[in-house]
Amino acid sequence: MQNTPLLHDLDTPANVLVVGATGGIGLAFARDLATRPAVARLFAVARRARANAALNALAAQYPDRVVLLDCDIRDEAALAAMAAAVRIVTPALNLVINTVGLLHDAALQPEKSLAQVTRASLEASFLTNAFAPILLAKALLPLLRHAQPVAFASLSARVGSIGDNRIGGWYSYRAAKAAQNQLLKTLSIELTRLNRRSIVLALHPGTTDTGLSKPFQGNVSAEKLFTPEFSATALLAVIAARVPADSGGFYAWDGQPIGW
């Protein structure tokens, strides 16, 4: 149990929402946050959160703190319904962590060459990695627009850095994460006008041992492959160390800024 503040300048228990809470890093965030006295309420959101055994176990352990909500964040109607469900419980969120991301699934593999790029692969990646996070922010805006500190942190990836792209490949994922970064930067400017204590962050978790990275771990040395628990706890420390002047930034798990 960590007794450290969740956010700069936040002196009341926080209302926190984690999206993608069934995923490797998302579940680790949910499990870490549920134990913290600094968290008043934890909304754990996923497409099938209420049918997920691990999330149900967490909600049973912390029944006054953990709320499970089902939502596909690519769906604007589902997002509106999820935001309305949150507003029944609280008028304000202090921390939103989006972990939703897509690198591969049954229909999609990251491209090794241009010949593998298709409209379908671009659309699928952009829908989940770029469009969904900003639609999430739009749906939650009334819950972020208040006088308390608030952070909206979304998991990007270092491979979304254009300046850092040295080996190519992974066209759709790289471009969709780069697009997410630009959308988050733009959000940071508008949100600062609405809440001067807000912080919007794009975060890189480091290569983490989850289903998303599993097929691509071959060349990763053991010490560079993080557990989801390590990544989540490290990123919570990165979020806690940021101040509103950092809003719109892109940071790695160790707190180092990443160039666009």
Q: Which residues bind ligand NAP (CB under 6 A)?
A: 20, 22-26, 46-48, 72-74, 99-102, 128, 132, 155, 157, 204-205, 207-208, 210-213
Please state the φ and ψ torsions of residue 9, each to the nearest 5 degrees. Answer: 75, 5
Write down the least CB distance from residue 215 to ligand NAP, Å. 11
- DSSP-assigned beta bridge partners for residue 229: none
**Residue pair 26/19 in contact by the 8 Å Cβ criterion:** yes
Write down the least CB distance from residue 71 to ligand NAP, Å. 6
Closer CB to ligand NAP, residue 20 or residue 248?
A: 20
Element containing residue 32 per DSSP (H, E): helix 24-34
* Alpha carbon separation from 107 to 93, 190, 214, 242 (Å, rounded): 35, 36, 16, 38
Closer CB to ligand NAP, residue 149 or residue 170?
A: 170
Write down the least CB distance from residue 69 to ligand NAP, Å. 10
* Alpha carbon separation from 253 to 71, 154, 229, 236 (Å, rounded): 27, 12, 12, 9
Closer CB to ligand NAP, residue 40 or residue 78?
A: 78
- Count CB atoms within 10 A of the CB of residue 53: 8
- DSSP-assigned beta bridge partners for residue 203: 155, 251
Closer CB to ligand NAP, residue 10 or residue 132?
A: 132
- Count CB atoms within 10 A of the CB of residue 87: 14
Closer CB to ligand NAP, residue 72 or residue 229?
A: 72
Write down the least CB distance from residue 197 to ligand NAP, Å. 26
Closer CB to ligand NAP, residue 99 or residue 181?
A: 99
Write down the least CB distance from residue 74 to ligand NAP, Å. 4
Measure the CA–CA gap between 174 and 212, rounded to whole angstroms: 14
Which amino acid makes up residue 152?
Answer: F
Measure the CA–CA gap between 193 and 18, rounded to whole angstroms: 24
